[in-house]
Amino acid sequence: MEHRHVRGVGRIPTKYATRHDRINRWFPAFWLDGVEMHDPRLARFICKMVPPQCPFERDIVLFGHKLVHIPPLCKLNPLYEQLVGLRFRALSYLADDCQEDISEYI
């Protein structure tokens, strides 16, 4: 994948670079897709820090009956989808390239 250097952001994939690169620095979702895993320590850190599911989804239960279901509002946040993709790439790197057991992160 071809990358382009953007001042204040670093290297981002060319497909996300536009003539308005200054605007793109405020949207990390554009460059999270270009992050590649090459360090097992970084991959483990990402797997520990990014939750496997939306942490805000809840069921409110009273006396064994579900009263309210709070939907996962993370789906409305485009950054969350990018973080989940980054976590998946980190898990894949640990399992495929490093031959590590990833059951503790799932």
pLDDT tens across 57-103, in order?
Answer: 778 888 988 888 877 777 677 778 888 889 999 999 999 999 999 99
Q: Do residues 1 and 34 lie in contact, with contact meaning Cβ atoms separated by under 8 Å?
A: yes
- The identity of residue 33, as a single letter, is D
Q: What pLDDT does residue 19 have?
A: 52
pTM as predicted = 0.62
Gap between the Cα atoms of 24 and 83, Å rounded: 17
Q: What pLDDT does residue 42 have?
A: 92
Beta bridge partners of 11: 5
SS3 assignment, position 26: coil
CA dist 40 → 7, 34, 47, 64 (Å): 28, 17, 10, 43
Q: What pLDDT does residue 74 have?
A: 73
